[in-house]
């Protein structure tokens, strides 16, 4: 139930409660009028009944108009809220279409469509690169946990190929202990992966990996290997918290906007 509907119910309940009190008050007034009529005085009795009818009709009419007025107020308020929501959605759509995210999405879509492909979204849970790789590897030959372990193992066995490209947050070169910690972190779910990990994965599976991105040439890793490349898309602006990787799939007309 919307906030407007909740407000409407609350206002109506308050009005109905007020009207019930007024009806109760009128009944007390009617009893007073009846008691004031002398027994057997037909003229006074007739006047009393006429007065009671007028009071009842007046209150009924008053309550009807109050409910109608409240209903009209709620309709106006609902229309204003709907107009406000429509304007906000239109502004959000305008902002999105002029955002870096939208421009990036459109460029990646164009690149993929030329190859008969489209983005296949994966879960943005810190494992997106590994999920995308698992999705691309034929027949799901490995799961995400095993992929992380094999990636870390390869990097440990080829320290010289990776450690020189790593540095601490302070910009200092990695020590052996830093590198060991880094490889241990790779094995943990939720730790983000990047180009070095992709390089290791290309060697583990002896397959080329192509990373399609907007604004830059496709990153190609493992080009020394033959066969169709594993294809990923890299998005700098897809998520508010940082970069994201997706898989790709065959282009389908009815899912063009995915």
Q: Mark the ranges of the chain whose per-residue pLDDT is less than 70.
A: 1-9, 92, 95-96, 139-140, 239-242, 253-258
The answer to whether residues 194 and 129 touch, using CB atoms and an 8 Å cutoff, is yes
The answer to whether residues 233 and 210 touch, using CB atoms and an 8 Å cutoff, is no
- Looking at the chain, list the stretches that DSSP marks H as alpha helix, in order from N- to C-terminal side: 3-35, 42-97, 100-113, 128-136, 144-157, 159-162, 176-186, 195-204
- As annotated, the active-site residues are 125, 128, 244
The answer to whether residues 117 and 251 touch, using CB atoms and an 8 Å cutoff, is yes
**pTM flag (> 0.75):** no
pLDDT at site 151? 97
Task: Supply 16's token pair.
Answer: 């109905």
Which 3 state secondary structure label does DSSP give 28? Answer: helix
pLDDT at site 242? 67
Which 3 state secondary structure label does DSSP give 227? Answer: coil
Rounded Cα gap, residues 230 and 145, in angstroms = 19
Burial class of 123 by CB neighbour count within 10 A (0 to 12, 13 to 18, 19+): exposed
Rounded Cα gap, residues 108 and 90, in angstroms = 24
Closest CA to 205 of 128, 146, 164: 146
pLDDT at site 241? 53
Rounded Cα gap, residues 146 and 134, in angstroms = 10
Task: Supply 110's token pair.
Answer: 């164009």
Closest CA to 181 of 165, 164, 163: 163
CATH for 100-255 (1.20.120.1770, 3.20.20.60, 3.40.50.150, 3.90.70.80): 3.90.70.80
């Amino acid at each position: 139930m919307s906030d407007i509907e909740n407000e409407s119910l609350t206002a109506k309940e308050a009005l109905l409660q007020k009207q019930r009190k007024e009806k109760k008050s009128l009944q007390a007034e009617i009893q007073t009028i009846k008691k004031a009529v002398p027994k057997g005085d037909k003229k006074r009795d007739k006047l009393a009944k006429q007065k009671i009818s007028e009071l009842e009709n007046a209150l009924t009419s008053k309550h009807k108009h109050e409910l109608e007025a409240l209903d009209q107020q709620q309709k106006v308020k609902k229309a204003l809220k709907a107009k406000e929501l429509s304007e906000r959605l239109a502004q959000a759509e305008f902002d999105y279409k002029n955002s870096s995210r939208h421009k990036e999405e459109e460029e990646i879509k164009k690149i993929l469509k030329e190859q008969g492909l489209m983005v296949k979204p994966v879960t943005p849970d810190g494992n997106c690169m590994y999920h995308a790789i698992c999705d691309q590897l034929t027949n799901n030959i490995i799961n995400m946990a095993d992929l992380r372990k094999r990636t870390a193992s390869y990097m440990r066995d080829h320290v010289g190929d990776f450690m020189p490209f790593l540095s601490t947050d302070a910009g200092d070169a990695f020590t052996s202990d830093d590198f060991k910690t880094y490889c241990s972190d790779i094995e943990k779910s939720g730790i983000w992966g990047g180009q070095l990990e992709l390089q290791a994965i290309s060697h583990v599976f002896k397959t080329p990996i192509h990373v399609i991105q907007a604004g830059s040439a496709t990153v190609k890793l493992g080009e020394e290997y033959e066969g169709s490349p594993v294809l990923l898309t890299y998005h700098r602006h897809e998520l508010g918290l940082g970069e994201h990787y997706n898989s790709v799939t065959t282009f389908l007309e009815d899912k063009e906007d995915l």
